[in-house]
Structure 1
Amino acid sequence: MNYFELYNLPEQFELDLVKLKQHYQTLQKLTHPDRFATASEQQKRMYLTKNAQINDAYSVLQSPISRGEHLLELRGVELASEQDTVGDVEFLMEQMEWREALEDADSVEALEKLVADNHQVLAQQEQAIAALLLNNNEQDNQSAAQELRKMKFMIKLASEIDTKMDRMTDS
């Protein structure tokens, strides 16, 4: 299913998230199961299914990673696993540096710097992915897929930084 079509949005990486939310709320109202309490069982199941699709689509389109992956899938790009970033020696080295920096961070200030650096990298990755996905060609689509895998690492790292920060501030 094409979630962009479901939401009547252009098939592109950069989306107006306010517009996305407005479409979501409208579609939710139109398909909410409570509206069909007196409908036949078949109609209830149909609207329940449609409502679930709307929820799934919103979840996918709201997330830059899921949105990018969905767009690539629509373009017929087979997405490799996160393990494929292992072939990128430069990124593997960056991952190790990030992990060491997180391990060595022994103050809230050090963690806050990691958070700021991480946000900067994520913003750069998002811009790079958007630029790559503007061109619908094989090379740029493959490069965007690679950047999405890297972005997954950075988001996971952000979560680990937050966890360490929470532990540090709770003690």
Structure 2
Amino acid sequence: MDFTQTYFALFGLPATYALNREQLDSAYRELQNTVHPDRFAAQPDAEQRVAMQWATRANEAYRTLKHPVDRGVYLLQLQGIDALDAHNTQMAPAFLMQQMAWREAIDDARAARSVEALDTLIDELRLDHRRIETQLAELLDARQDFEGACEAVRQLRFMDKLIAEVGDVYEELEG
């Protein structure tokens, strides 16, 4: 096995954002069966260490590729682009306005102690998240618009944080 290969090559998958999750899961299980450290328990220490390194790499690759933001960041990284560069925080004005509306909706739901309002908001956020994921696949796979893809990745990252924040408010209201 080659430690320099990409995560996609490790699983025998095409290096695209649009990823077949079932194929990824299957390739991961197959690789884990091959490199799992327990299979090397009776082998010399050096082989056990290599197996542990492969298992660790497989886990890291799987976590990266299964998460939409991390997969986008990784694909851009393969192009030599840091999608989450702290100096590049530019976002479309419409998205910035939408951010403010979502934050107000969270505050309003919290103040009203309204789980129903949170349910509506979380549905909207998940729908928009999927829409941006589809857009990111188009930007990366079809257009190779890396600048646009960077913004889409930043938007998804923001939305992940916002979805987590809504989860916190659910817990707050239940507790």
TM-score, length basis structure 1: 0.91
Over the aligned positions, Cα root-mean-square deviation in angstroms equals 1.6
| C-alpha contact 1:77 1:142 (8 A) present in aligned 2 | no
Per the alignment, residue 11 of structure 2 pairs with: 7
C-alpha deviations, 1:17-40, integer Å up to 9, x for none?
111111111111100111111111
Per the alignment, residue 126 of structure 2 pairs with: 119
Superposition pairs for residues 77-88 of structure 1, below 5 Å? 77-81=81-85, 84-86=88-90, 88=92
Q: Aligned equivalents of 1:83 and 1:91: distance in 2? A: 18
Instruction: Tell me which of 25, 29, 36 is aligned to 1:32.
Output: 36
Instruction: Tell me which of 74, 86, 105 is aligned to 2:78.
Output: 74
Per the alignment, residue 146 of structure 1 pairs with: 151
Quickly say closer, same or farther: Cα 1:25–1:129, change in 2 above 3 A. same
C-alpha deviations, 1:60-81, integer Å up to 9, x for none?
0110111111111112223233
Q: Aligned equivalents of 2:82 and 2:8: distance in 1? A: 19
Per the alignment, residue 163 of structure 1 pairs with: 168
TM-score, length basis structure 2: 0.89
Q: Aligned equivalents of 1:32 and 1:70: distance in 2? A: 24
Instruction: Tell me which of 29, 42, 48 is aligned to 1:44.
Output: 48
Any stretches of 5+ residues in structure 1 without a counterpart?
none
Residue 110 (structure 1) shift: 0.7
Structure having the higher helix fraction is: 1
Identity over aligned residues, as a percent?
35
* More off after superposition, 80-89 vs 34-43: 80-89
| C-alpha contact 2:31 2:58 (8 A) present in aligned 1 | yes
Letter in 2 for 1:119: R
| C-alpha contact 2:69 2:157 (8 A) present in aligned 1 | yes
Aligned length: 168
| C-alpha contact 1:85 1:150 (8 A) present in aligned 2 | no
| C-alpha contact 2:18 2:141 (8 A) present in aligned 1 | no
Any stretches of 5+ residues in structure 2 without a counterpart?
none
Quickly say closer, same or farther: Cα 1:89–1:83, change in 2 above 3 A. farther
Per the alignment, residue 24 of structure 2 pairs with: 20
